[in-house]
């Protein structure tokens, strides 16, 4: 009995969706198209550029490099990231590049990450202009190199990879946005379809009589077009 009920429920679900499949298709397509248009035309692209800096202690020739010294530099690399995002660094970068940004706004455009278990720090800058994104990243690295030597008495700071202007933006991700819009549009349209079906109490066919009134149909009156 339970299997029959489950089969009936599934049939009802497919019946409801099939009856208004045009509506589900329309809403889903509109969501995809709208997302593509908004992502492509109304959202400014954002470019990301990254530079890598190594910070550590300079070693003299003939001295033995101890593992404890490497571990110390790796732990200190976490503190160096705080210096990169400090107000003294960002304000100096703003001054050098004549940016129309506040210190907090520039900090929001920067991402600083330590490369795991290394002395390397990646400085990422985001901007609507790819050239400016690279320029900001490189300038932040330069100012950081100057200030970290004074603040933390570090005598070995090197830039491993300079930031270059990226070719492609990191956002908006048009295809991803369209895929998300397709899922949301499908879910919303199916919900509306079931809501309309729930609110619709009219009888339109013999199947509706069997489904809603649980009565067997013993006959139907055919419809004839008099104009024909």
Look-up of token digits 């270059």: 164
pTM, to two decimals: 0.71
The Cα–Cα gap between 184 and 26 comes to: 13
- What is the arithmetic mean of pLDDT over 158-168? 91
User: Does residue 39 come out as left (phi exceeding 0), alpha (psi in the -120 to 50 range) or beta?
Assistant: alpha
Residues 179-196 pLDDT 10s: 999 999 999 999 999 898
pLDDT value for 7: 47
Residues 91-139 pLDDT 10s: 999 999 999 999 999 999 999 988 877 778 899 999 999 999 999 999 9
Residue 65's pLDDT band (cuts 50, 70, 90) = very low
């Amino acid at each position: 009995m339970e299997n029959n009920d489950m089969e009936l429920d599934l049939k009802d679900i497919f019946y409801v969706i099939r009856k208004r499949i045009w509506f589900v298709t329309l809403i889903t397509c509109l969501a995809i198209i709208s997302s593509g248009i908004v992502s492509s035309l109304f959202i400014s692209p954002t470019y990301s550029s990254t530079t890598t800096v190594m910070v550590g202690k300079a070693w003299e020739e003939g001295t033995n490099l101890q593992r404890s010294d490497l571990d110390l530099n790796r732990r200190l690399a976490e503190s160096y990231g705080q210096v990169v995002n400090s107000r003294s660094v960002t304000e100096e970068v703003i001054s050098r590049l004549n940016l129309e940004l506040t210190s907090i706004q520039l900090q929001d455009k920067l991402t600083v990450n330590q490369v795991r278990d290394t002395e390397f720090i990646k400085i990422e800058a985001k901007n609507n202009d790819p050239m400016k994104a690279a320029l900001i990243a490189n300038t932040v690295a330069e100012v950081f190199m100057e200030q970290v030597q004074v603040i933390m008495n570090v005598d070995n700071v090197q830039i491993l990879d300079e930031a270059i202007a990226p070719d492609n933006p990191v956002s908006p991700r048009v295809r991803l946005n369209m895929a998300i819009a397709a899922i949301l549009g499908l879910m919303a349209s199916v919900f509306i379809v079931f809501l309309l079906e729930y609110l619709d109490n009219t009888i339109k066919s013999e199947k509706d009589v069997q489904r809603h009134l649980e009565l067997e149909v013993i006959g139907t009156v055919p419809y004839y077009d008099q104009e024909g």
